[in-house]
Amino acid sequence: MENVRTNINWIDDLLPDGLQIKTSTIITGPGGSGKPLIGETFVSAWLQKGGSVAFMSLQYPSTDFISESIKKVTGLDLSLYNDHLLFFQLDTNIENIVDEGNKNIRANLVKPEVWESALEIAKSRLPKTGPGILLFTSAFNLLLFSPTYGKEILSKIKQIILEDKSLTYIFSVSTTAKKEEIETLENIADNLLISRSEKPPLKLFLKVERAKDVQFDNKEIQIPIKPETLQHLKKVAEHSRNKVIPEILKI
């Protein structure tokens, strides 16, 4: 199986061989510990290798925030890879999926059946070149707040992780809430990366707990991060608390 390295020193120190394609990765840790930033390093490497990426945007207020974040973390300009990108934006006010064109799709990702539709769209529209298709979902734990669909969506994602080996999956999940549910995902994923934070001043740390069929170093490292990136993270966290969670709690 092919592996994808990030060519970013602080990640490659821990994963010199990179991550194996067509595996599942859970990036876990408390809120504010930089989990999406870690995933974005793999997104950048994936695109540069010729692969395609489908973003499941659960916490970001807009696709512009994703582009800005990746630019700040890796220096990559997503606009250079438009033909290899799809953005699924969480919208709890629609029943299923609305294609807005220009690579932007609104989807009620709280519902398990919508994930099936979204995955089929990604597989049919994105080029399967290079390492293939990567699905990157940030803040998956937000969906577990749904009183109607929380348990069902957890079961659906567990099924996807265990059974679908046609894509590569990276999920970032917070353990600040729904810790027991998140542990069930940690236990079945092929690769498990754990982040944490300390403050003041804010410092972020990363450790590789498990990685399938590749060499890895399980020492903990500090993630180098710029102040402007931390400010960007704060805005995303505020959006999750003030808008996304209240909307998901309604369904």
pLDDT over threshold 60, residue 153? yes
> Tell me, what's the pLDDT at 227?
66
Which pLDDT belongs to residue 1?
57
Instruction: Report which DSSP code applies to 82.
Output: G
pTM given for the model:
0.94
Indicate the domain borders of the chain: 3-248
Domain 3-248 fold = Rossmann fold (3.40.50)
Instruction: Tell whether the model's pLDDT for residue 194 goes beyond 80.
Output: yes
Whole-number pLDDT of residue 234: 67
pLDDT per residue over 91-143, tens digit each?
999 999 999 888 999 999 999 999 999 999 999 999 999 999 999 998 899 99
User: Which structure tokens are listed for 134?
Assistant: 């990567």
| Mean residue pLDDT across the chain | 91
Q: Map residue 148 onto helix, strand or coil.
A: coil
pLDDT bin (cut points 50, 70, 90) of residue 237 is low
Q: How large is the average pLDDT for residues 49-66?
A: 87
Strand-pair category, 191-198 with 24-29 = parallel
* Ramachandran region, residue 103 (left: φ > 0; alpha: ψ -120 to 50; beta: rest): left
Can you tell me the distance from the alpha carbon of 103 to that of 82, in angstroms, rounded to the nearest whole number? 8
Q: Is the pLDDT of residue 83 over 80?
A: yes
